[in-house]
Amino acid sequence: MIAAIGLGALVGVLLGLLGGGGSILAVPALVYGAGLTLAAAVPTSLLVVGVSSATALLPRLRAGLVRWRLAAVIGGTGAAATFAGAAVNRLLDPRVVLGGFAALMVVAGLRMLRDTDDSGGDCALPGGGINWRGCLPKSVAAGLSVGFLTGLFGVGGGFLIIPALVLLLGLTMPTAVATSLAIIVINSAAGFAAHLGDVALDYGITVAFTAAAIIGSLAAGRLATRLPTHRLQRAFAWLVFAVAAFVATQALVNPAPA
């Protein structure tokens, strides 16, 4: 239980600071730290990350950073795709799922390190709006991809959503973080529904993990607005690499129970 509380707080801090990353740690933490099976860790992770993301979103609402229509497009298309990802997850060996999870994190981390431009891109208009003619197809594609992976790996998708929002859609990092949190809430809710009934949840661990994550996300959310966005983005990438290495190693030498 102590491990669940400590790891939950860490997940919340990551969500509060970076708008993602908590889901990267949630599944490995629940499996290797709290002792849950992978089947139980996936829906538990989605519940924890969804609630924590909603909490971390609160301090950013007053700043008006969330692009709600963009969040609705990506989150709406992603919600449908989570059910397909969950169906595939049930067919795969846990070692394969964790190995694929680690490989995906490496790709996302490399993308974030290659481009740390915070000035926006072709989808983000100078006045803060969105160029929907060019960006709607990209938004739908991003939503479907992230939603499928949310269902497959049991993650909120922040470590994929943020690179997509920054590098593909051209949002600035602060706006991407806030919008990512809104999308994660939608995707996590859909993913949890897709996995609901697969296995009974351990409510003691779930409540302790979630409560600690909420406290961590609230505390970190206040600090995030004072930190340089470039440093946050690079720190996010290196965190992804570190957890990817851990997950890959554990999948090879100490595979998670199904």
CB 38 within 8 A of CB 49: no
- Kindly list the domain boundaries of the chain, sorted by start residue: 2-253
Q: What is the pLDDT of residue 120?
A: 47
Q: What is the pLDDT of residue 119?
A: 46
> Which is more confidently placed, 243 or 51?
51
Residue 188 predicted with pLDDT over 80: yes
CB 184 within 8 A of CB 158: yes
Integer Cα distance of 202 and 104 in angstroms = 28
Mean pLDDT, all residues of the chain: 79
CB 170 within 8 A of CB 159: no
Residue 130 has phi, psi (to 5 degrees) of -120, 135
| Average pLDDT of span 37-52 | 84
CA torsion sign for 234, 245, 29, 46 is positive
Q: Is 221 exposed, middle or buried (0-12, 13-18, 19+ CB in 10 A)?
A: buried
> Which is more confidently placed, 7 or 180?
180
> What are the tokens at 30?
């629940």
Q: What is the pLDDT of residue 229?
A: 62
Split at pLDDT 50, 70, 90, the class of 45 is: confident
Integer Cα distance of 90 and 198 in angstroms = 9
Provide, rounded to the nearest whole percent, the portion of the chain with pLDDT above 90. Answer: 2
For residue range 107-139, what is the model confidence (pLDDT) as tens digits? 777 876 765 454 445 566 555 566 677 788 888
| Average pLDDT of span 237-242 | 80
| Average pLDDT of span 64-86 | 88
Q: What is the pLDDT of residue 255?
A: 57
Among 8-17, 61-70, 151-160, 232-241, the range with the most confident prediction by mean pLDDT is 61-70
Q: Quick check: helix, strand or coil at residue 82?
A: helix
The Cα angle at residue 70 between residues 68 and 72, in degrees rounded to 5: 70
> What are the tokens at 100?
């694929």
